[in-house]
Amino acid sequence: MVARFRKFTLLAGLAALAVTAGAKAADAPPQRVLYSGATVIDGTGAPARAGQDILVEGERIVAVGPHGSLPTGQARSVDLAGRWVIPGLIDTHVHMATPPNPKRAQAMLRRLLYGGVTTVRDMADDLRSVSELSRQTLVGEIPGPDIRAAAVTAGPPFFNDPRIGAVSMGYKAGTAPWAQAIDENTDIPTAITLARGTGAAAIKIYADLPADLIAKLTAEAHRQGMLVWAHSAVFPTRPADVIAAGVDVVSHACYLAYQVEPVMLASYEDHTPVNESLLAKTGDDPVIAGLYKAMLAKGTIVDATGSLFVRYDKLRKTHPEIRPLRCTGATTARLVRQAWKAGVPVSAGTDFEADVASPWPALYDELDFLAHDVGMPPLAVIHAATLVGAEAAGQAKDTGSIAAGKLANFVVLAADPVKDIGNVRSIAMTVKRGKEFARADYRPVTVEEMGNDDED
């Protein structure tokens, strides 16, 4: 009995020491790190600034200034002379859990983070799984970007889609709080409250809804402090009415071209492609110009997802039996080019995952699309993939540019991305929330982790 008591006392004492040590660690001041002598591209679209220092304390940037100008105290120094620094990249269109597969998702997240992506918008998935992934990446249990997720709203016909069953197992289709069927009988304030309770940052207005319900969903979501992300055409609702509803971001520049159709498709389930011959033969299309004028007035962002359509065109050259997407890659590029030239903010979203053999996330294909197919200069591409992406995700106060007070989310490059956007592949290190992830430590994704790439 005495021996047991002594053993218990010893264990209790060790536990108390551990608690005390943990408390002291929690009370310790956050580590300060000085990243010195880099060329900084801050994500705002401004020119690169050579010879800059970035002082980080804990998770946040304390100051940015010319080399040698910052009061550093006892900061650890990291010499970045001859290196370039850009903000952490943001993919504004990913799917991490359709269907839920934690092993695959964790592999995708690892490739994203070590590829310089520090934030993503998850655009409709099983939010039970996504919430856990988000917690794990936030606290550092697994490497990955921060995740901002959407809860889906759509008209009842959409809920026959088998993907809905995959993301709402255990619920009747259309009744899960993160995947709700909406009609004229829906209590919209309650629907938004249920969506907000999942931890979602936004609702995604997906398909099969009339314009009046889109407007009501948007107004109520904004009233309750949620963002609204939508397809740019929510069949049978035309793009002009989606924009007029005041949504924050529209996805898929391609879908904007349905505005030129004399008769709008009655439902999302009708995949008839855009009649591209209805667009102006040369120059800017005047109907699309009207949409962009409205988007500028509303502050609407377009999540382009252009590389998806270019990639699909290439696939159909070898597999012509595959049905076409709603637009060709060339038309999608033309629509994005017109948006960018009109001043509409364009974010960099993908909506697909890179092949298992790729060392880089799919976002790199979108950067190449914006640079080479659309014709945006590298500074504009970086702006799209950083600060505009942060605005789309509702995170511009915390990330998207390199500035004092923001999270220490940035990427260190060995080559100049202003000379060639392809130089984003020269990553030496990603810093996310002040934690360093050396590219040399990246463990490539495997077939065993990723499974069948046909799931993409």
What pLDDT digit, counting tens, does each position of 346-363 carry? 999 999 999 999 999 999
Chain-centre distance of CA 366, in angstroms? 12
Give the total residue count for the chain.
456
Q: Provide the token pair at 231.
A: 């397809």
Q: What is the mean pLDDT of residues 20-38?
A: 73
What pLDDT digit, counting tens, does each position of 357-382 carry? 999 999 999 999 999 999 999 999 99
Q: Pick the more confident residue, 307 or 24.
A: 307
Average pLDDT over the chain, rounded to an integer: 94
Nearest Cα residue to 453 out of 360, 369, 358: 358
Nearest Cα residue to 226 out of 1, 419, 29, 394: 394
pLDDT number for residue 27? 61
Q: Tell me the domain boundaries of the chain.
A: 88-398
End-to-end CA distance of the chain: 62
pLDDT number for residue 73? 84
Nearest Cα residue to 38 out of 16, 56, 11: 56
pLDDT > 90 in the chain, percent:
91
> What is the value of pTM for the model shown?
0.93
pLDDT tier for residue 452 given thresholds of 50, 70 and 90? low
Q: What is the mean pLDDT of residues 162-185?
A: 96
* Per-position DSSP letters for 294-355, written without gaps between them: HHHHHT-EEE--HHHHHHHHHHHHH-TTSPP-SS-HHHHHHHHHHHHHHT--EE---SS---
What pLDDT digit, counting tens, does each position of 97-138 carry? 999 999 999 999 999 999 999 999 999 999 999 999 999 999
Whether pLDDT at 1 is above 50: no
Q: What is the mean pLDDT of residues 440-447?
A: 98
What pLDDT digit, counting tens, does each position of 314-330 carry? 999 999 999 999 999 99
pLDDT number for residue 430? 98
What pLDDT digit, counting tens, does each position of 408-430 carry? 999 999 999 999 999 999 999 99
What pLDDT digit, counting tens, does each position of 394-405 carry? 999 999 999 999
What pLDDT digit, counting tens, does each position of 267-319 carry? 999 999 999 999 999 999 999 999 999 999 999 999 999 999 999 999 999 99
Under CATH, domain 88-398 is a member of which superfamily? Metal-dependent hydrolases (3.20.20.140)
By the 10 Å C-beta count (0-12 exposed, 13-18 middle, 19+ buried), 19 is classed as exposed
Whether pLDDT at 16 is above 70: no
Q: What is the mean pLDDT of residues 11-22?
A: 46
CA distance 175 to 420: 48
